[in-house]
Chain A
């Protein structure tokens, strides 16, 4: 790839592995001077990883990065900052108790002649900078008092203060209201006009079409293509993002849905910061069907599952498992017939420092020994049986869970949860970080559970998986179920549109003023 004077960043053949997992497959990307360049893809497609490599957060295993005509290899963010790269992270890197001006200058503080921090100058410069870019802020305001939208301004100003000529925005609209989003887009266009480059990471298609000059699509760690925003539609992008052909198709017969196993009624719950995340959410899952909950991450699916599993207290509403009303008590919920396979294997679903037999025993302790007594031998025996039954390769009851691969860890969770006689199975991102071979057997197992008359509820950000597994698809958007679709009567594009909020339950189009969206 040749470097032209119009290019501000050229990434060539960057490859990144985490252990055995390949996060980025030889990606190449060119960002021109003065353009807004969108990088789109589903969650886990590798967008953020690629950008973190560009920002010097971790080194690539192979490949080259060229910034403004110079080959670079950064040893940390400070060197990337030096080279003119700024990044606004999805999770802000701000100091809550400090003022706007102080946050902006951290790391490159202006000093007085005596060598002290020149806070006057910092305030004047911060204010001037804000005015110049239309991002006005009170430099003396304390950051924790600001609403999220304004905190993002501080992050952007921080990058501009260090004279960033290439600005990476990682999912910047995730935390903004539609109005704030429009304002941000105006600012982004203004930057591009002034000769800077903006890399805009997102998965929201209508935003991309509204603001980007060029669009690069990533899927499963590969950078597929870079397109001009002239002649492309949201549908085209959606199918590129998810891949037209469904890679893994599980053979399964027609569902034979029976009675209701899980019923969620008018559920409301708050998120980590105490604000409402779920608003009046209702749905049900019946015996003998697989229902998938699709949605862009962060729209409330974590909270839904936590509420059902008893790990989060709902603000109001009702959850019934097998007709029994359950609350925030994991033990009671499990006893009501719940089996839950969490996405966070290391943190929630397994204890990595424990032996496999111990991991398999949790949740079933009552079976191993009578009364208060515990029989490790019984637990080990059951574990050995499950290891061969679920074909967990390289496992031994006494081996530590952390010594297993992602796919085999997933099988340990699966074996433990499916062995119990549950009538409701919740599988959260069942194929995340799992190798292809294991995905297939995991999917087959879930279908077998359905055929045995159990209710299966799958939460997945991967639409391939949603389509290959489910009989029914629920789409969650901003804490509400916006669609309840029969898998056999719908297609990827429709689901994608619901996920991106382009279409709502009433069929009303939400794309605002962009001709490409239908």
Chain B
């Protein structure tokens, strides 16, 4: 290995570049597999991908729709990334998003307050709703050492069914659809454009990602979360109060997901609708994994998936292909990134090939080893 002193900045840049190789390779593989699928369905992959890029990024209206579709992914992606980085497999962002949406939807219509109180109150309600939904898996994981993945998996449909019941029976708005009454104007997130539903929630999401990037790098708690995620025994040995911090980071993660629900209700739909989420919580897993749990990476990954999603809609209108091509690409990426065959795997493969060699060179020494 060449020993070269590089500057700290150069080192950091090199590290950042290296950490981007795996996601890029995964995206490339997904695009190739997706391309093969497109060919099998009788379309031209270059045209299809071209349509997606065109439909998502070219022109102001298209781009604004992309910003709109990436907004929920900012929240759920960040939520998952914050938890994953601390070694907690919060795959319950879907349920937390729904509960956050429900709570903000209720507070949004049920109380009348001046805007500067009402809107913050709705956002806080959403965060509380998400956090309460995260409390069950979090406590079971941290205090009772129950696998949080299974609990989260069960909590997701419970949230969907429970909120569905409330929207259909308990607080149903008059009319045929299962929804809550519209939120009051005083609780609405300001919409930025006539072309899309992109709203102040987008700014909140961006801000949160940047905030957490800062927390991760420049605060003690951010450093401790990372240490807990990589080796909790070591963190405990170093006096980090692992249980308390793991619990709090799980709740923070759930609160972020809940806030994502508020963005949907207060900014895009202006009411809580039953079954509004097409699986943003699960998409969040894809975003976080592609981002390598880095909050800035979450912005880029959310932009990529948001663009694919908004381009996918255009694709569906223009060709015989479904917008679900995007979902296929998304989860091929997750599958590839879940494998641990990146650097270590390749290295291990090489070692196992090389290993027999020392045997040969050690053999001649046999004669001199008899000590008795």
Question: What residues of chain A have their CB less than 8 Å away from a CB belonging to chain B?
Answer: 12-13, 15, 17, 25-26, 28, 61-63, 222-226, 309, 311, 329-335, 340, 342, 347-354, 358, 361-363, 365-366, 368-369, 372-376, 380, 398
Q: A330-B238, A373-B219 are in contact. List 9 more A-B contacts (CB 8 A).
A: A61-B358, A61-B359, A223-B371, A331-B239, A348-B233, A352-B231, A365-B224, A374-B218, A374-B219
* Bound-state Cα–Cα, A334 to B238, Å: 8
| B18: A residues at CB distance < 8 A | none
Are B230 and A361 within 8 A (Cβ)?
A: no
* Bound-state Cα–Cα, A335 to B239, Å: 9
Q: How far is the CB of A261 from chain B (nearest CB, A)?
A: 19
> Closest A-chain residue to B224, C-beta based?
A365
Q: How far is the CB of B366 from chain A (nearest CB, A)?
A: 4
Most-contacted residue by chain A among B218, B234, B235 (CB, 10 A): B234
Are B224 and A222 within 8 A (Cβ)?
A: no
Contact with A along B204-246 (1 / 0, CB 8 A): 0000000000000111111110110011011111111100000
Q: Does B194 contact A (CB under 8 A)?
A: no
Are A331 and B234 within 8 A (Cβ)?
A: no
Tell me whether A26 and B365 are in contact in the complex, defined as CB-CB below 8 angstroms, given that A62-B359, A362-B227 are known contacts: yes
Pick the contact of B230 from A223, A342, A354, A398 — CB < 8 Å? A354
Are B372 and A349 within 8 A (Cβ)?
A: no
> Closest B-chain residue to A17, C-beta based?
B358
> Closest B-chain residue to A374, C-beta based?
B220
Are A362 and B238 within 8 A (Cβ)?
A: yes
Pick the contact of B237 from A26, A225, A342, A374 — CB < 8 Å? A342
Pick the contact of B223 from A25, A330, A361 — CB < 8 Å? A361
Pick the contact of A363 from B11, B238, B358 — CB < 8 Å? B238
| B219: A residues at CB distance < 8 A | 372-374
Are B366 and A63 within 8 A (Cβ)?
A: yes
| B371: A residues at CB distance < 8 A | 222-225
> Closest B-chain residue to A345, C-beta based?
B234
Are A362 and B235 within 8 A (Cβ)?
A: yes
Are B366 and A13 within 8 A (Cβ)?
A: yes
Pick the contact of B234 from A350, A368, A369, A375 — CB < 8 Å? A350
* Bound-state Cα–Cα, A15 to B368, Å: 13
| B224: A residues at CB distance < 8 A | 365
Tell me whether A398 and B369 are in contact in the complex, defined as CB-CB below 8 angstroms, given that A348-B233, A365-B223, A372-B219 are known contacts: no
Are A351 and B363 within 8 A (Cβ)?
A: no
* Bound-state Cα–Cα, A502 to B348, Å: 47
Most-contacted residue by chain A among B230, B231, B237, B365 (CB, 10 A): B237
> Closest B-chain residue to A399, C-beta based?
B11
Are B218 and A373 within 8 A (Cβ)?
A: yes
Are B234 and A362 within 8 A (Cβ)?
A: yes
| A398: B residues at CB distance < 8 A | 8, 11, 15
Question: What residues of chain B have their CB less than 8 Å away from a CB belonging to chain A?
Answer: 8, 11, 15, 217-224, 226-227, 230-231, 233-241, 358-359, 362-363, 365-366, 369-372
Most-contacted residue by chain A among B231, B238, B362 (CB, 10 A): B238
Most-contacted residue by chain B among A13, A332, A347 (CB, 10 A): A13
The 10 closest A-B pairs by CB, nearest first: A26-B369, A331-B239, A362-B238, A351-B231, A62-B362, A13-B366, A363-B238, A374-B220, A330-B239, A225-B372
Q: How far is the CB of B333 from chain A (nearest CB, A)?
A: 23
Are A369 and B236 within 8 A (Cβ)?
A: no
* Bound-state Cα–Cα, A361 to B237, Å: 13
| B236: A residues at CB distance < 8 A | 311, 330
* Interface of A, helix, strand, loop or mixed by DSSP: mixed
Pick the contact of B366 from A26, A331, A332, A380 — CB < 8 Å? A26
Q: How far is the CB of A404 from chain B (nearest CB, A)?
A: 13
| B230: A residues at CB distance < 8 A | 351, 353-354
Pick the contact of B365 from A62, A224, A349, A354 — CB < 8 Å? A62
* Bound-state Cα–Cα, A62 to B368, Å: 13
* Bound-state Cα–Cα, A369 to B217, Å: 12
10 A-B contacts (beta carbon < 8 Å): A223-B372, A309-B237, A330-B236, A331-B240, A347-B233, A351-B227, A362-B234, A365-B220, A373-B218, A374-B219
Tell me whether A376 and B363 are in contact in the complex, defined as CB-CB below 8 angstroms, given that A361-B223, A398-B11 are known contacts: no
* Bound-state Cα–Cα, A372 to B221, Å: 7
Q: How far is the CB of A50 from chain B (nearest CB, A)?
A: 14
> Closest A-chain residue to B362, C-beta based?
A62
Are A351 and B223 within 8 A (Cβ)?
A: no
* Bound-state Cα–Cα, A28 to B236, Å: 44
Tell me whether A28 and B239 are in contact in the complex, defined as CB-CB below 8 angstroms, given that A17-B358, A350-B234 are known contacts: no
Are A353 and B223 within 8 A (Cβ)?
A: no
Are A61 and B234 within 8 A (Cβ)?
A: no
| A28: B residues at CB distance < 8 A | 369-370
| B237: A residues at CB distance < 8 A | 309, 311, 330, 340, 342, 348-349, 363
* Bound-state Cα–Cα, A358 to B228, Å: 12
| B222: A residues at CB distance < 8 A | 374
> Closest A-chain residue to B369, C-beta based?
A26
> Closest B-chain residue to A15, C-beta based?
B362
Tell me whether A61 and B223 are in contact in the complex, defined as CB-CB below 8 angstroms, given that A351-B231, A354-B230, A363-B238 are known contacts: no
Q: How far is the CB of B238 from chain A (nearest CB, A)?
A: 4
Are A369 and B366 within 8 A (Cβ)?
A: no
Q: How far is the CB of A63 from chain B (nearest CB, A)?
A: 7
Tell me whether A373 and B11 are in contact in the complex, defined as CB-CB below 8 angstroms, given that A331-B241, A349-B237, A358-B227 are known contacts: no
| A374: B residues at CB distance < 8 A | 217-220, 222-223
Q: How far is the CB of A479 from chain B (nearest CB, A)?
A: 23
* Bound-state Cα–Cα, A398 to B234, Å: 19
* Bound-state Cα–Cα, A364 to B219, Å: 14
| B220: A residues at CB distance < 8 A | 365-366, 368-369, 372-374
> Closest A-chain residue to B14, C-beta based?
A398
Tell me whether A25 and B218 are in contact in the complex, defined as CB-CB below 8 angstroms, given that A15-B362, A62-B359, A348-B234 are known contacts: no
Are B231 and A353 within 8 A (Cβ)?
A: yes
Q: How far is the CB of A359 from chain B (nearest CB, A)?
A: 8
| B241: A residues at CB distance < 8 A | 331
Are B231 and A334 within 8 A (Cβ)?
A: no
> Closest B-chain residue to A63, C-beta based?
B366
> Closest B-chain residue to A369, C-beta based?
B220
* Bound-state Cα–Cα, A405 to B221, Å: 30
| A350: B residues at CB distance < 8 A | 231, 234
Tell me whether A334 and B239 are in contact in the complex, defined as CB-CB below 8 angstroms, given that A348-B234, A354-B230 are known contacts: yes
> Closest A-chain residue to B372, C-beta based?
A225
* Bound-state Cα–Cα, A96 to B358, Å: 41
* Bound-state Cα–Cα, A12 to B367, Å: 10
Are A224 and B239 within 8 A (Cβ)?
A: no
| A226: B residues at CB distance < 8 A | 372
* Bound-state Cα–Cα, A362 to B223, Å: 9
Tell me whether A62 and B366 are in contact in the complex, defined as CB-CB below 8 angstroms, given that A374-B223, A376-B217 are known contacts: yes
Q: How far is the CB of B359 from chain A (nearest CB, A)?
A: 5
| A334: B residues at CB distance < 8 A | 238-239
> Closest B-chain residue to A26, C-beta based?
B369
* Bound-state Cα–Cα, A340 to B235, Å: 14
